[in-house]
Amino acid sequence: MIPTIKWEDNCIYIIDQRKLPRKKEWLVCQTLKDVITAIREMAIRGAPAIGVAAAMGLALGSQTIKTESYEIFRRRFLEMARQMKLARPTAANMRWAAERMIRVVEMMDDNNVEEIKRAVRKESQSILDRDIEINKKIGQNGLGFIPDKATILTHCNAGALATGGYGTALGVIRAAHEAGKDVHVIVDETRPLLQGIRLTAFELMEENIPVTVIVDSASGYLMQKKMIDLVITGADRIASNGDTANKIGSYQLAVLAKVNKIPFYVAAPLSTFDPDLKNGDLIPIEEREPKEVISFAGHLLGPEGVDAFNPAFDITPAKYISAIITERGILKPPYKGSIRALFGTDVK
């Protein structure tokens, strides 16, 4: 499995996912700004992975703060965290990671700046290492939903590349494969950036897990024809009532699964939850540039001057989600109760 991101020689190495599967190329980030750009331009993507990148980016940024004053360090670190959180608005993990890093800084107000920098760096590494463990746990926890022989539809990439490693939705699929279950994955190509055909098909083929690609428009047909046993996706943010933001197209898969009586599962770590958010309507949906839709590899797909609208995510209402698989176990509807039980009673 390719590592998604690593720290080496005081630089952050990111596998440039825009170039996969054609080229395996490391993008070397030497500054906080490099990391923010890599996230914004989706050299690295996937909610847990950009959480890790945010943490590492802040660790990298912190090293450039030239001061011995805790207060100055803290102020500049908070400003870096603010900038980082703006890189992409939808995924909860960005904010989660930034806030975890801030907590380290704020808890060390008695320490000298060099010690804080070391602690911050250590925390970012532990977020990465822990993410892989979490994914493996999610994989184990989801096993019970996978029949011994199953055709599984997934969307976009919620794999090793979308996380620190192993994957959330693909983590469950990997765990099922490792447990000897006979799984065949159908992945839709996931326009506009084709994460399904480029990244998910690539990851699964590397591990000899059977995979077939379809266009995004064909998923309903396959469900109608009873060719799909279950759907499983990742998530970018989950509100306190279970409404889930994920890659554009997830909502329609969930509706089609419901209509065709097929279970629809979401696999996500606790860092993807936003327990302060009442429901999905409050999740900001990133709109990306029209050029992602209207051109491909330098080819304009439509007429000169064609207009496009490019929302990057959508919201799947909780009522369409059969269960949410986390590292701490399975959440079942009604989610308001099960999420409150997990995060405490002050959930809105």
- What's the closest the beta carbon of residue 201 comes to a copy of itself, in angstroms? 5
* Cβ closest to a copy of itself, residue 134 vs residue 162: 162
- What's the closest the beta carbon of residue 106 comes to a copy of itself, in angstroms? 38
Please list, residue by residue across 98-128, b when 16 or more beta carbons sit within 10 angstroms of its beta carbon and e when fewer do: bebbbebbeebeeeebeebbebbbebbeebb
Pick from 207, 229, 244: which is nearest to 145 by CA? Answer: 229
Segment 2 to 21, residues that bind a copy of itself, using CB under 8 A:
21
The question of whether 236 is a catalytic residue gets the answer yes
* Cβ closest to a copy of itself, residue 107 vs residue 301: 301
Q: Which spans in 64-112 are helix H?
A: 70-86, 92-107
- What's the closest the beta carbon of residue 45 comes to a copy of itself, in angstroms? 16
CA distance linking residue 17 with residue 67, whole number of Å: 36
Segment contacting a copy of itself (CB under 8 A): 143-151, 262-270, 309-317, 331-339?
Answer: 309-317
Annotated catalytic residue, options 16, 236, 243, 314: 236
Pick from 338, 189, 180: which is nearest to 249 by CA? Answer: 189
* Cβ closest to a copy of itself, residue 210 vs residue 329: 210
CA distance linking residue 14 with residue 6, whole number of Å: 7
**CB-facing half-sphere around the CA of 346: CA atoms within 13 A:** 1
* Cβ closest to a copy of itself, residue 103 vs residue 291: 291
CA distance linking residue 252 with residue 144, whole number of Å: 25
Segment contacting a copy of itself (CB under 8 A): 168-176, 263-271, 301-309, 327-335?
Answer: 301-309
* Cβ closest to a copy of itself, residue 143 vs residue 227: 227
Q: Is 301 in the site for a copy of itself (CB under 8 A)?
A: yes
By the 8 A CB rule, do 91 and 68 touch? no
Segment 194 to 233, residues that bind a copy of itself, using CB under 8 A:
194, 197-198, 201-202, 205, 210-222, 224
Of 251, 264, 273, 335, which lies in the binding site for a copy of itself, with binding defined by CB under 8 A?
251
* Cβ closest to a copy of itself, residue 130 vs residue 288: 288
Q: Identify the sign of the CA torsion 6, 8, 11, 15.
A: negative
Segment contacting a copy of itself (CB under 8 A): 11-19, 76-84, 173-181, 297-305?
Answer: 297-305
Q: Is 284 in the site for a copy of itself (CB under 8 A)?
A: no
CA distance linking residue 273 with residue 240, whole number of Å: 7
At CA 308, angle to CA 301 and CA 234, rounded to 5? 95
CA distance linking residue 220 with residue 127, whole number of Å: 37
Of 68, 110, 309, 345, which lies in the binding site for a copy of itself, with binding defined by CB under 8 A?
309
Cβ neighbours of residue 325 closer than 8 Å, sequence gap 6 or more: 138, 141, 142, 145, 168, 172, 265, 266, 267, 268, 331
The Cα-based distances of 6 to 3, 37, 48, 165 in angstroms read 7, 17, 14, 11
Binding mask 254-273 for a copy of itself (x = CB under 8 A): -xx--x--------------
Segment contacting a copy of itself (CB under 8 A): 61-69, 75-83, 250-258, 340-348?
Answer: 250-258
Interacting residues toward a copy of itself by CB under 8 A: 21-22, 186, 188-192, 194, 197-198, 201-202, 205, 210-222, 224, 247-249, 251-252, 255-256, 259, 293-294, 296-297, 299-311, 314-315
What are the catalytic residues? 236
